[in-house]
Amino acid sequence: MKKINIGLIGFGNIGSGVIKILRNKKSFLTKKTGLNINIKKICDQDIISKRNVGVDKRLLTRDPKEILEDPQIDILVELIGGIHPAKEFISEALKNGKNVVTANKALLALHGQELFTEAIDKGKNIYFEASVGAGIPIIKSLREGLVANKFKSILGIVNGTSNYILSSMSKNGRTFNEALKEAKKKGFAEKNPALDIEGMDSAHKLILLTYLCFGRLVNMKDVFVEGISRISLADVDYAKELGFEIKLLAIAQKEGEDLEVRVHPTLIPKSHLLASVDGIFNAIYVESDLAGDLLFYGPGAGQLSAASAVVSDIVELTQDIKAGLFRPMMNIVRDKTVKRLRKIDESFSRYYIRFTALDKPGVLARISGILAKFCISIASVTQKEKNRTEFVPIVMLIHEAKEKDLRAALSMIDRLDAIKEKSVAIRMEEV
């Protein structure tokens, strides 16, 4: 049985999970696949700290060259994350004739074009199942299982931290800050959680999902990104009263010949499956032309969950290498019916809006007057009883409006004397 050698760079959380699986399940995997996957080298800056898996010390090195320049290593598994030096490592590995497995969504989202092109030039593949949705086999499903499909949209809850916070606000009545603190305590949020809660991590993953569904690797600047840090408990509660949950959604959606690519907090009806996705769970909802509407759900984080996906990529590549199979297009093709990316200003959406107004006659008339001027039509209004403060919240759901018009209207409304806080507007999605 031909041995396929892998070299791992990045012996951190996911990395040690991968080693654990490949070691503990070696005979299981060999029996299942007929493959012999051998860990030849493990590289990390820190080769001293104890991991939760034992390895032969001779496998460890601090020098990435021992992997990148070893002609016997067939597959580089890159799990250090971040842009540099991960990019250089992958590039070097491809140059030296290795296939690559990575979980590095930020790197592929920002420099994927360059790396994928390099890979194709060298006749090698970069696999990245663990970069979106951890152990959920969403990338394989889009690339292979749904190979015959064209897509209308993909909507994902793809950041476990944000979803944990929003769930905790909705289920346990926590404020944003309380929920964030709780998430940190449980290890579900980084010390600096900005990448997660400001939506950047979701945007990176969305860029990859958009690439898989529509064949375009869009630039980060073309993705509208709004995080959850300004979502208040009040809004979560009002949304619930109206029959909605607020979720941070990553959305790529065809509208005629346009494609919208955006990440933002979104009201979704409680009856929709995505509304029931709680805690650190992720879910990706896909609208396809043949297979219909599909949902893929599972834990969005976790050492073994992500490692499960990395190992499935390693198995796949090992099989391909043995058979001499190279998948140049990785089943990705540009959807030519998409002519352009739609700017957020030009996009249409329904909205949930909360105004904070003085409790005086005529305020509602002035607000609705301004909305009418911009042809924005109100679907429902609830004026809440004021509690403790002298201001009353006015909660509105509006029919579909152009983002630009809505922003202009809100900016005019916010200048009214009777309005006491910047108004809150959250998009609604009708899936």
Q: Which listed residue (220, 329, 372, 379) binds its own copies by CB under 8 A?
A: 329
Is 271 annotated as a binding-site member? no
In terms of CB distance, is 322 or 366 closer to its own copies? 322
* Residue whose C-alpha is closest to residue 142's, from 230, 91, 208, 65: 208
Min dist. Cβ of residue 33 to its own copies (A): 6
Collapsed DSSP state (helix, strand, coil) of residue 286? strand
Q: Which backbone phi and psi does 38 adopt, to 5 degrees?
A: -115, 130
Positions marked catalytic: 205
Q: Which stretch binds its own copies (CB under 8 A): 92-100, 147-155, 364-372, 420-428?
A: 147-155
Amino acid at 317: L
CB 314 within 8 A of CB 77: yes
**Site membership for its own copies, residue 328 (CB under 8 A):** yes
Would you state the structure tokens that stand for residue 65, as one six-digit string? 């060259």
Q: Which listed residue (299, 357, 371, 426) binds its own copies by CB under 8 A?
A: 299
| Alpha carbon distance 48, 284 (integer Å) | 39
* Residue whose C-alpha is closest to residue 407's, from 348, 334, 361: 348
Is 394 annotated as a binding-site member? no
Beta-ladder partners of 101: 77, 127
Strands 281-288 and 151-157: what pairing?
Answer: antiparallel
**Site membership for its own copies, residue 136 (CB under 8 A):** yes
**Site membership for its own copies, residue 134 (CB under 8 A):** yes
**Site membership for its own copies, residue 32 (CB under 8 A):** yes
CB 82 within 8 A of CB 105: no
Min dist. Cβ of residue 190 to its own copies (A): 21
Enumerate the H helices of 173-302 as residue ranges. 176-185, 194-197, 200-214, 233-241
Amino acid at 426: I
For its own copies (CB under 8 A), the number of binding residues is 60
**Site membership for its own copies, residue 243 (CB under 8 A):** no
**Site membership for its own copies, residue 64 (CB under 8 A):** no
**Site membership for its own copies, residue 273 (CB under 8 A):** yes
Interface of this chain with its own copies, residues 94 to 133, rule: CB under 8 A: 129
**HEC states along 197-225?**
HCCHHHHHHHHHHHHHHHCCCCCHHHCEE
Q: Which listed residue (83, 194, 333, 372) binds its own copies by CB under 8 A?
A: 333
**Site membership for its own copies, residue 312 (CB under 8 A):** yes
Is 369 annotated as a binding-site member? no
Residues that bind its own copies (CB under 8 A): 21, 25, 28-29, 31-34, 129, 134-137, 140-141, 144-150, 271, 273, 276, 283, 288-299, 302, 304-305, 307-309, 311-312, 315-316, 319-320, 322-325, 327-329, 331-333
